[in-house]
Chains A and B, each alone.
Chain A
Amino acid sequence: MAQNPFPLGKDELLKAYRTMRTIREFEERLHVDFAKGDIPGFVHLYAGEEACATGIMMHLNDNDRIASTHRGHGHCIAKGVDVHAMMAEIYGRSTGACRGKGGSMHIADLSKGMMGANGILGAGAPLICGAALAAKVRGDRGVGITFVGDGASNQGTFLESLNLAAVWNLPVVFVVENNGYAESTAMEWAVSCDSYVDRATGFGMPGVTVDGTDFFAVYEAAGEIIRRARDGGGPALLECNMVRFYGHFEGDAQTYRAKGELEAIRASRDCLTILSERVIEAGVIGRDELQAIDREVNALIEDAVRAAKAAPLPVADDLLRDVYVSY
């Protein structure tokens, strides 16, 4: 076996690949099942963006908090939320992560530090400031990560949160997942300052741009930014330039894309292919080892779907359960 040239050991590389493959398979299966009419509500798929969630979450533990978006399945899986509970939630079953009452856009698991996907654009940013303030007050070295798309980065909540995090020197990382489109509006039509790093600079924090399809680029940059936040260095912004393989939502006809655009990005910017080719070429991991993971992941997703379909739906009495919490 060749010497490992990467910043992660073989076990960690296999874990990263497994996480990315699980996200991809999860989303590909939802794409099929949603088209069949099996899934209630709206679904926004993370396929194509797996390197971002995985490269960041590899640096976190359960004590660290994340606040996700409407496109949150990848964040959940990378943060360690149970895939069976996620699938059941998306299928609206009582065995789901939120007892089947939240659906795709409201999956949460506080035990894993996953504060929730969020159907309101830009709403995760102020939430993570609260979590980061709590970590800072407790002094537990926890960090908070919030994700926004290029569209949600225009929301006032996001900009106010940048200001708050800078003023209070909170251990927060604002991750802008720039897939080039706010729903169907190309970024250059809708973002006045053109560069998210410029926005960070305006609020007095550093901003970094990386190729979000390159797992190692995300992993390395995120590692430095998260370590800085954990050590008390304050907030920062990380822009990951990436691609989404499906529409804004399932059912989106994607008429705003150029002809051949999707085929081109799938062929040249598939983060899963890029990662697997690098580790195989370096001789660190064999193709057969990755294929074994593929089979295990396929079986996992198949079992998650089977279990979700077999699980009961919530009943009327569940409606007001978990709505209020007694302190």
Chain B
Amino acid sequence: MAPVVGIVANPVSARDIRRVVANATSLQIADRANILLRVLAALHACGVRDVLMMPENGGIRAHVDRGMMRARARGEDIYPALHPVAMPVTGTVADTHRATAEMRRAGVAALVVLGGDGTHRAVAAECGTVPIAGISTGTNNAFPEHREPTITGLATGLAVTGRVPPHIAFIANKRIDVSLNGGAVTDMALVDVALVTERYIGARALWRTENFRELYVTFADPEVIGMSAIAGLLEPVGRDESGGLMVRLSPDGDCRKGITTLNAPIAPGMMAQVGVTDWRRMPADVAFVPEVAAGSVALDGERELSFTERDRLSLTLRDDAFRTVNVAAVMRHAGQNRLLTGTPVPVTAAF
């Protein structure tokens, strides 16, 4: 039986205040639908015939349906059948959680995710062992790699149809678990946890560097933007190595002697100077207790929780927390083994 792929496409990512305070991208709904059509065509080319999709009221599905209808009208059979997950739509992150859980229970072989870091975080919270294939349609997008979605779709199709060995097709990822008051409240981040002094959620995004205090990252990539960029420009830590990095930032933008001053891209097009007092490796499975007594916890670039002096906060990095499709490795394998030619060579990689 052909594998089924799930799709989570968030219509409300890339809509926050960073469109104004920076010149962040604002990907239109029609473009998100076009991305999805490209992914669907690639999945179909690999033999995927059925796809489950999270329902939403943002208009993506309607545009996709229109594109598929037009293809059928031209006599083209290039898309798999698209089935919405039967669930009510709330227009909140709860939809992503529920749809992911439903698709996992339905046995999807992989989840293609269109969104920013926040959308991917919501999927990772519920996906279990189902691998994620991420496509960036958000603002900072440190987690999903930037790539033409057709290629992501092809790699996912090749991976789930078993044409690429699992140890090549999938890769483990890290996360940081956030625990408030001994687990009374828990959450997680895929890329970064930032502690800021603002004690309200408000417009969610982070851009006032004078409020930054502590930063914990799963990987520190100097090629990304956002909070992870601060860490990446101090000491790069790969996605595929154990542990992450912890960075302490100086209060009130104070860049005195003895404090490292860093010029970092904290949002698209927004370079900011931050003072750094300390940074060190963050080993896996070791609980870190922040020095900041009160403020907000920003997960993957958005304020999510506020905490006071009375609350006990701890952060623990986990290796091997969830899987993603290793698009680069899959496509390299596809090329080396001519998987997309009429006569592919036998799979040679050992399991």
Contacts and interface: CB of A to CB of B under 8 A. Distances in A.
Interface string B176-204: 00000000000000000000001111111
Name, among A216, A224, A239, A282, the residue most crowded by chain B CB atoms within 10 Å (CB to CB). A224
Contacts of A282: 199
B202 A220 contact: yes
B347 interface: no
A207 interface: yes
Interface in A206-242: 206-210, 214, 216-217, 219-221, 224-225, 228, 236, 239, 241
Contacts of B59: 188, 193-195
A113 B91 CA distance: 35
Given A195-B59, A220-B17, A221-B17, A210 B203 contact: yes
B12 interface: yes
A193 B29 CA distance: 7
A194 B20 contact: no
Contacts of B348: none
B306 interface: yes
A198 interface: yes
B21 A216 contact: no
A164 interface: no
A216 B201 contact: yes
Interface in B193-241: 198-204
B37 to A, nearest CB: 16
B19 A197 contact: yes
Interface string B62-96: 11000000000000000000000000000100000
Given A207-B19, A221-B17, A225-B20, A5 B29 contact: no
A7 interface: yes
Contacts of A209: 12, 15-16
A6 interface: yes
Contacts of A217: 201-204
B294 A5 contact: yes
A201 B203 CA distance: 20
B26 A201 contact: yes
Contacts of A5: 198-200, 294, 306, 308
A206 B20 contact: yes
B58 interface: yes
B92 to A, nearest CB: 9
A164 B193 CA distance: 42
Nearest 9 Cβ contacts at the A-B interface: A194-B59, A5-B199, A206-B19, A220-B202, A209-B15, A220-B203, A216-B202, A198-B28, A194-B29
Interface of A: 2-3, 5-7, 188, 193-195, 197-198, 200-202, 206-210, 214, 216-217, 219-221, 224-225, 228, 236, 239, 241, 278, 282
30 contacts: A2-B308, A3-B294, A5-B200, A5-B294, A5-B306, A188-B57, A193-B59, A194-B58, A194-B59, A195-B28, A195-B58, A195-B59, A198-B26, A198-B30, A200-B26, A201-B26, A208-B19, A208-B20, A209-B12, A209-B15, A209-B16, A214-B202, A216-B200, A216-B201, A216-B202, A217-B204, A221-B16, A221-B20, A224-B20, A228-B20
Given A188-B57, A194-B59, A217-B201, 18 more contacts: A5-B199, A5-B294, A5-B306, A188-B62, A195-B28, A195-B59, A197-B26, A198-B26, A198-B30, A201-B26, A207-B19, A207-B26, A208-B15, A208-B19, A209-B16, A214-B201, A214-B202, A220-B203
